Amino acid sequence: MRGRVAVVTGASRGLGKAIAMALSGAGARVALVARDLDKLNQTASEIARAGGDARPFRADVGDEQQVAALERAVLAEYGQVQILVNNAGINLRKPLVEFSLEEWNRVVNTNLTSVFLMCRAFVPHLKGRGYGRIINIGSTMSWVSIPGRSAYSATKAAILGITRALALELATEGVTVNAICPGPFATELNTALLQDPKVSEWFMSRVPVGRWGRVEEVGAMAVYLCSEQAGFVTGTDLVIDGGWLAQ
């Protein structure tokens, strides 16, 4: 991927960080995007120590004006973009009737509206090159759900819809659009689950391979989707869940 520029949201931790490091390891220059600048700088430093090229960009990708400013900053730094990974996400776990409208909108803005805003800003820069890659991070909750995941599941199910529609819009441009749908992964987003032995045991009872996913496994999948070999893969989702959905 030498010569390619990738924009990765939610790159300060978890899956976003792993994807950014994997793309950098494959030769891409990476624009790291998140709200926590200190953690972004840590990610950039790790990539630099590994011989990669990454720059931090602080932005709330659910905010229209901040996304517009991000677009200008990334283009000023790199002059081009070929890869967009929409990974930013949050999860509020509670029954639907306990959600305030502010909480619901916060999940929707971060998980879904951000995908719309980032694609609207960066898709024009992917066109006309004969190559482009967009990866949206969904979830097993795009397909199934469990109690207390109403807002999260709603946004992750919608990710599949926007992925399919945008893939069709960009198919003749050589730009592929796909989703990665992870199951239980040992990330900061799941810290509360990991630290509760009973909850963690319940999740593991649902995963046939019997373990939490490793973030590097999602990074490797992202590298494949961004490769030339994946040029015929578009408008779909790749589930990486240790067999959860096979049951």
Backbone angles phi, psi at 180, to 5 degrees: -110, 130
* DSSP symbol at 214: P
Among residues 78, 131, 152, 224, which one is catalytic? 152
Which residue, among 167, 70, 68, 77, has the nearest Cα to 126 in the 3D structure? 167
Torsion angle defined by CA atoms of residues 163, 169, 173 and 176, in that order, rounded to the nearest 10 degrees? 10
* DSSP symbol at 28: -
Catalytic residue status for 152:
yes
Helix (H, G, I), strand (E, B) or coil at 135: strand
What is the torsional sign of CA 145, 150, 152, 153? positive
Which residue, among 24, 39, 32, 101, has the nearest Cα to 61 in the 3D structure? 32
Q: What whole-number distance in Å separates Cα of residue 38 and Cα of residue 44?
A: 10
Helix (H, G, I), strand (E, B) or coil at 2: coil
Which residue, among 61, 55, 66, has the nearest Cα to 87 in the 3D structure? 61
Helix ranges restricted to H, the chain: 14-25, 37-49, 64-78, 101-108, 114-126, 150-170, 191-194, 197-205, 215-226
Report the catalytic residues.
152
